[in-house]
Structure 1
């Protein structure tokens, strides 16, 4: 199996299929459940001192895993209370067998919540298809009110494993222990916040089953893409020339951040272009960045200008619309951000049709949620973020990067990647402009649109992680790029 396969995210249905294929290959369901419980028990014994443990088991296989955890911890000398909120005759055979091995009457819920120091959530896991209401909802609220550490089996109960959404109410876990592959809900918000420390263990499902499970969803990371290395015989033009459109004389900072990010990301040359008065204002602030008071048509006449970043601080104008369409029609790689997206708010199909006709996988759209809504419409039906971005990429023909703490990147063919390494300090003015520049630098170096978007999002987050403290400003992200790029290359 490739490294990329370990970044695959599986939906509940796909995970169920993985279980089925493993059983078909001769791994009994009883053994899979035993192994899952062992992974959770090992996590607990490695991270907690012996204490009184309360295991809350629901009516499905998540509860079956809980039976195993309770027995293994009891056998290891821990004090364990278990409560089973289900009926023995309604659970699966493997779960019944493990319940019998537990061999004790279950404890009242009050005793578990009040007398135990550590709680194990084995109520529902990732498989919810409806909101939690009634008795279970009240139980989860009580669990949270205890303020005791909670370890969730697979996924905190109440979190939709496919979307990360809260289904009515959800357990706030200190940690979540999942199996084989993570689920989308582990990395999508708000689910990610409820999961706590996420640990992944293997339970005997062979990696070979993935060949029969057509997944198109991954967690972002360097196993999915490669930043083009510097060639020993290369030169600055072999690493591309990234052109960044400047805003007017009073709005040039955003474009300057993008340009510096593109240069630090490894583009061989970077130029700001636009009106002469705007570039005159830029001149005192740049040294390595060139200034091109040229029209878009003049710039497109030189094939060495292989990448454009359009939108940051540009102003919403008819001229910007023309520039965007001209760059796409010329077949150049481009990043469209901020004003370059808003400029098509009244007629997004004119942009999408142009991309479908000329884009050839080189166009990256980087909207924040507001810009996304202006281009693709409001999410009135509450569609999950993955499907929302997948549909947007298909409609637009572009690579769509929906920015956020859980940035989601989609390709027109249906592939989607979730980027989950962005710390909260990235929420600062100019951060998105730097992201556009990093992606532009990657495009200039020859990466595909989708790979450049994925690499840009990951590297952007890694730069903020490396800074690692409050007070981050956008130019700090740019300053971290050389070290992060070196680490990624290694």
Structure 2
């Protein structure tokens, strides 16, 4: 159930499923049950819009009334502020996820007056395709959606406005997904299978990762630590000069890049973290020429500012918002579509990082990640992600599932550590997260 449907795709699923009245009854009943399970009886006002969303709200009102709750249904276009303020709980059934215009000021005023809101499908004003706010959207305590989530449930700011999000089945057959052929998913372990060691395997069969280091090697060291903990059999820090290594098992090489490229075992490379823009520019070009498997991050991305075609040949790129904008231009209204455009432009799986990281493949497949906690936003965590991604690639995973796995494992490791984590804490947390997946 981790497929994501745009509002247009969901409308097609509704139409193909047929029996709209039965689906509406099941949806309204699901809303009522969620409220009965979470709230004490109170005065409820259902603000109903003119479409199916309003119909779901009216059904929910009926089931709540049958349970003995005092419920009023009001047309959202004629309801009064004082009615909203008197309610203990407001069910927002005004607009669904397919809203194509800004919320009228009168509706915004009503929703702003609500003491507590439970939203049907999405809080009114949240664009189900992008998570953007169409003029105004209220903060819901609880949102109940049906059959499949939408991108706007996972992309900010919509994700934050949903509050607790519940997905409920309403009797719609999964067969309606066939003609739709969804190309977006919530990023979960359903999208990948981690590489497994064989009984007769050895360190080189588990993959070799080389991480290029600049004068300030801290970022490269973080990438190395993640690659080692994520199962790469051999990890090398390639530097210009000798240095003290913090890990006994990490290999340091100071050979010229041309010499390192001659070793056929060195197929997977991380280029960019702490490397310096000028050196990353030259190094990336050489690696692409020799057809290596490349994870490009940080300075390697900045070196390609305004020239995404220079990244063609990389397997995975991992830009944060600033780096993405430098290379590909403004993200625009849809982070999901921006990542897809970028992946197509450069031919590499694009990991557009953030609280709602999007992983997009050149063929249009995309996943939205939702397990990253706020405390993951600290210096160096992106370097860990780059090394983790490289390790999975080196062990034979294809770029899209490798990137999906790396992002999910990264977020899960951060969750396990809790607030106050440092980037250097993450690699050691990876083995138990990976082991839990079997």
Q: Tell me the TM-score normalised to structure 2 length.
A: 0.97
**Equivalence for 1:265:** 230
Question: Can you list the C-alpha shifts for 1:362-418, whole angstroms capped at 9, x where unaligned?
Answer: 611111111111111224xx3311111111111111111111000011111111111
In 1, the alpha carbon distance for the partners of 2:44 and 2:308 equals 56
Partner secondary structure for residue 143 of structure 2? strand
Q: How far is 1:334 from its partner?
A: 1.3
**Equivalence for 1:172:** 139
358, 378, 387: which one aligns with 2:337: 387
**Equivalence for 1:125:** 96
**Equivalence for 2:433:** 484
**Equivalence for 1:404:** 354
Confirm or deny that 1:445 pairs with 2:395.
yes
Q: How far is 1:111 from its partner?
A: 4.9
Q: How far is 1:295 from its partner?
A: 2.0
Deviates more, 1:399-408 or 1:329-338: 329-338
Partner secondary structure for residue 308 of structure 1? strand
Partner secondary structure for residue 100 of structure 2? coil
**Equivalence for 2:118:** 151
**Equivalence for 1:105:** none
Partner secondary structure for residue 243 of structure 1? strand
Partner secondary structure for residue 437 of structure 2? helix
Contact kept, 8 Å, 1:337 with 1:366, in 2: the verdict is yes
**Equivalence for 2:416:** 466
Contact kept, 8 Å, 2:5 with 2:148, in 1: the verdict is yes
RMSD of Structure 2 on Structure 1 (CA): 1.4
Contact kept, 8 Å, 1:141 with 1:169, in 2: the verdict is no
Q: Tell me the TM-score normalised to structure 1 length.
A: 0.87
Partner secondary structure for residue 113 of structure 2? helix
Partner secondary structure for residue 125 of structure 1? coil
Contact kept, 8 Å, 1:158 with 1:169, in 2: the verdict is yes
In 2, the alpha carbon distance for the partners of 1:82 and 1:295 equals 74
- The structure richer in helix per residue is 1
68, 75, 85: which one aligns with 2:76: 85
Confirm or deny that 1:424 pairs with 2:374.
yes
Contact kept, 8 Å, 2:48 with 2:55, in 1: the verdict is yes
Change beyond 3 A, Cα 1:182–1:325 = same
Contact kept, 8 Å, 1:333 with 1:449, in 2: the verdict is no
**Equivalence for 1:413:** 363
**Count of residue pairs the alignment pairs up:** 438
Matches within 5 A, 1:161-310: 161-248=128-215, 251-276=216-241, 280-281=242-243, 283-310=244-271
**Equivalence for 1:329:** 289
**Equivalence for 2:20:** 29
Q: Which runs of 5 or more residues in structure 2 are unaligned? A: none
Q: Which runs of 5 or more residues in structure 1 are unaligned? A: 1-5, 88-107
In 2, the alpha carbon distance for the partners of 1:303 and 1:38 equals 61
Partner secondary structure for residue 119 of structure 2? strand
Contact kept, 8 Å, 1:271 with 1:292, in 2: the verdict is yes
